[in-house]
Amino acid sequence: MKIGQKLILVFLLVSVFAGLAGLISINVSQKALQGYIIDSSIALTVESLDKIDRHIYNRIEDFQAYCSDKLLQEGLVSSNQAFDKLGDLEAYIAKQDQEWVAAPKDSFTPFMLQLINNSISLKIKEQLEFYKRKYGYEVYGEVFVTNKYGANVFQTSKTSDYRQNDEAWWQEAKENGLSVGDVSYDESSGVYSTEIGIRIDDQKGNFIGVMKLILNIREAINIIKSIRMDKQCPSRYFELLSRDGKVLYSGKKGEDVDFLEDISRTVFFKRITGQDGFFTGHSYGSQKGQRLFTYAHSRGYRDFKGFGWILVAEYKIGEIFAPVIRLKSTLLLILIIVTLLAILIGVSFARSISGPIIKLKNATIEIGKGKLGIKLEINRKDEIGILADSFNKMTSDLQKNTISIEKLNQEISGRKIIQEQLREAYIKLKEMQDQLIQAEKLNAVGQLVSGIAHEVRNPLGIILQGIGYLESRLSSKEADISATLATLKDNINRADNIINSLLDFSRVANLGLKAEDINSILETSLSLVKARLKLEGMDIVIETKKDIPRVLADKNKLEQVFINILLNAVQAMPVGGKIIIRTLEKKLEGISFADRRARDNFQAGEKVVIVEIEDTGIGVPEENMKKIFEPFFTTKGQHGVGLGLSVSRDIIHMHRGLIYAESRRGKGTKVSVILKIAETL
């Protein structure tokens, strides 16, 4: 792709990203503004319900204050005292209640008139008339007061019965101090209302009676109707629902909604969850497009817990979000115009940069053809102009200082010859170094011949002496013979180990390589030393990979390596311990080896087979870790000559593999053997 095209593409991408960022910002702003509108609507419903709760609380508080009236309390105390003197109180109340209920609905018995027209009842009635004149309707349907036995004492109108202590509202008011009922139609007063019961106590806190108010819910509905009309949403309306899903008020226009209609089973009501919130959908009984609904539950006020009413506000989505839609459209238009301008400016700017650069490119092509006298005519005062001047100066300098191409080729050819000679010299030097190392090993063996002969001769002498001793003491005790035989066995083993180690170290044997199962080799090695491991109290843990690839190996030589490692592990755990044997397949990515042979034999990413033999012994001191694979290095004293790991290392190197050890003092040692997979050799 040409630089001009790249510059144009960059400016296009920048413009597109800027446009996307602007679009995202618009969407975020839209959601934020919509959230603000929704929150404002929810706040309006919450505020309206709080206002309803406060008004109802004020009505309750007015009569709670009146319950402390001296004349009212004296009248209740007098009634209670009179009832206390009755012989059969329950029979009296039951008789009066029966006569009360039996009386025609619109007729009043003298006993009723006595309760309605006493001074305290008339005083309560005057208070109800005051509220009626003030608000233009009956705020309270009726008010009546019972004594502590539940019998009516004072009332503003005829009640449905005389006895009240069998009613749930009366019992709740007595128990809790206040009882608030659901909305219903009160037959005594003829209004839709809610029942409120108030406990009455004397000055000493003793229960003396209960007052019941029939509170008209019209006042709550008037509060909803008084909510200021929103010019932006003229179609908005409110609905007041009871906690169990009955319609207490609906502001819908042109739709028939029955008072106390039950909508509790509708999808609309079931979506009203939580204290307050919102949702979108259809209204109950209507499919006129999507609507936004915000709602809030009554929270109560002070010690008035509220009715649990729900106030719902309904909006047309297109109407309430109209400002958001207009703002989004305006911002999108501005964004499109700005993006197009940015693209046009970017293309023009890209061409102003790419044009001189193309001229410079063409000039360099001509110079490559040998036309060193070419000049650029670019009259600019920016960096491109400076670059053109530098280019012209460079061509001028090239003309003055041109070097012969043939001479350069000769220098390059000479350097290649020298590099090839150095490489060959390095290979020869490496081969000579390997030969010198082998020669040194053989020389070391030669120097040790006399010492080895001495070491072999002494054990054999002891064996002969033991045989002579046995012959001369055939009648001796069995214990002496056993001790002598033990000595013979130890010295014979010692001589055998010394001779085998020296032979393995000094000779270079040819490997019989073929594809082998590494797990099988490990099993054979373990079986040869298993008796020794059990004798020493070792726990063996096998963690071999079942489907591990085969390796190209000399089975006998690898068995010798693993036996050496296992015996070293045993000697590192004088008081017993655990040996873990595992095999795994692994890539050598990210692994670096200090061993030169490893760098030569392995490549990054190559798959290999790894054998790990780990013990829980005393570990190897850090200062000895670099020496453990050196010939004749041992920490076993007279029990070894230090050739086991050295011979093992040479065997693994002959397999083009790697052996290395890791150890922590007091934590144990892990020896790892890395072998090539058969297919890769």
Q: For residue range 99-113, list pLDDT tens digits in order.
A: 998 888 888 899 999
Q: What is the mean pLDDT of residues 52-72?
A: 87
* Edge-to-edge order in the sheet of strand 276-281: 247-250, 237-241, 310-316, 291-297, 276-281
Sequence-distant (6+) residues with CB within 8 A of 360 are 376, 378, 387, 388, 391
pLDDT tops 60 at residue 638? no
Q: 147 falls in which pLDDT band (50, 70, 90)?
A: very high
Question: Which tokens sit at 220?
Answer: 């709550």
- Tell me what pLDDT residue 364 has: 75
- Tell me what pLDDT residue 505 has: 47
- Write the CA distances from 483 to 160, 446, 474, 479, 536, integer angstroms: 122, 36, 14, 6, 21
pLDDT tops 80 at residue 166? yes
pLDDT tops 80 at residue 350? no
Q: How many CA atoms lie within 13 A of 263 on its CB side?
A: 25
pLDDT tops 60 at residue 668? yes
Cβ contact 330:348 at 8 Å? no
Sequence-distant (6+) residues with CB within 8 A of 259 are 192, 247, 248
Q: Of 259 and 275, which is predicted with more confidence?
A: 275
DSSP state of 624: G
The C-alpha atoms of residue 618 and residue 665 are separated, in whole angstroms, by 6
Strand pairing class (291-297; 310-316)? antiparallel
Cα end-to-end span (Å), the chain: 45
- Write the CA distances from 292 to 38, 49, 438, 562, 593, integer angstroms: 9, 19, 93, 79, 70
Q: 371 falls in which pLDDT band (50, 70, 90)?
A: low
Cβ contact 657:602 at 8 Å? no
Helix/strand/coil percent split, the chain, to 5 = 55, 20, 30
Q: Report residue 228 CA to chain centroid gap.
A: 48
- Tell me what pLDDT residue 459 has: 67
Cβ contact 506:438 at 8 Å? no
- Give the three-class secondary structure for 250: strand
pLDDT tops 80 at residue 662? yes
- CB count within 10 Å of CB 288 equals 9
> Of 67-71, 238-242, 346-350, 609-613, which range is least confident?
346-350
Strand pairing class (140-147; 207-216)? antiparallel
The C-alpha atoms of residue 241 and residue 299 are separated, in whole angstroms, by 14
> Of 224-228, 264-268, 557-561, 605-609, which range is least confident?
224-228
- Give the three-class secondary structure for 429: helix
Model-level pTM greater than 0.85?
A: no
Sequence-distant (6+) residues with CB within 8 A of 326 are none
> Of 161-175, 188-202, 313-327, which range is least confident?
313-327
If residue 445 lies in a helix (H) or strand (E), which one and from where to where?
helix 405-447
Q: Quick one: fold of 67-220?
A: Beta-Lactamase (3.30.450)
- Give the three-class secondary structure for 239: strand
Cβ contact 40:292 at 8 Å? no
pLDDT tops 50 at residue 49? yes
Cβ contact 650:644 at 8 Å? no
Give one word for 260, left, alpha or beta, with left for phi > 0 and alpha for psi -120 to 50. Answer: left
Sequence-distant (6+) residues with CB within 8 A of 616 are 573, 577, 578, 579, 667, 668
DSSP state of 638: G
Cβ contact 585:607 at 8 Å? yes
Q: 641 falls in which pLDDT band (50, 70, 90)?
A: very low
To the nearest whole number, what is the mean pLDDT of the chain?
78
Name the H helices within 250-321: 267-270, 317-320
User: What's the one-letter identity of residue 428?
Assistant: K
Cβ contact 52:309 at 8 Å? yes
Query: pLDDT tens digit string along 476-516?
Result: 555 666 666 666 666 666 566 555 555 554 454 567 788 99
CATH class for the domain made up of 511-680: alpha beta
Question: Which tokens sit at 393?
Answer: 């100066």
- Tell me what pLDDT residue 3 has: 65
DSSP state of 163: B
- Tell me what pLDDT residue 642 has: 47
Q: Of 145 and 466, which is predicted with more confidence?
A: 145
Q: Of 480 and 95, which is predicted with more confidence?
A: 95
Q: What is the four-CA torsion angle of 76, 82, 85, 90, rounded to 10 degrees?
A: -70
Q: What is the mean pLDDT of residues 142-161?
A: 91
Give the residue among 357, 249, 227 at the shortest CA–CA distance from 310.
Answer: 249
Q: What is the mean pLDDT of residues 158-171?
A: 90
Cβ contact 161:101 at 8 Å? yes
The C-alpha atoms of residue 155 and residue 137 are separated, in whole angstroms, by 19
Strand pairing class (191-201; 207-216)? antiparallel
Q: 162 falls in which pLDDT band (50, 70, 90)?
A: very high
pLDDT tops 80 at residue 158? yes
> Of 16-20, 22-26, 436-440, 464-468, which range is least confident?
436-440
- Tell me what pLDDT residue 467 has: 67
- Tell me what pLDDT residue 439 has: 47
pLDDT tops 80 at residue 122? yes
- Domain-by-domain residue ranges, the chain? 67-220, 423-493, 511-680
The C-alpha atoms of residue 76 and residue 148 are separated, in whole angstroms, by 8
- Tell me what pLDDT residue 499 has: 57
- Write the CA distances from 313 to 226, 252, 285, 564, 629, integer angstroms: 14, 11, 16, 88, 88
- Tell me what pLDDT residue 232 has: 67
- Tell me what pLDDT residue 508 has: 46
Question: For the chain, how big is the Rg over CA atoms in Å?
Answer: 54
Percent share of the chain, pLDDT over 90: 17
Q: Which of 230-234, 599-603, 657-661 has the highest mean pLDDT?
A: 657-661
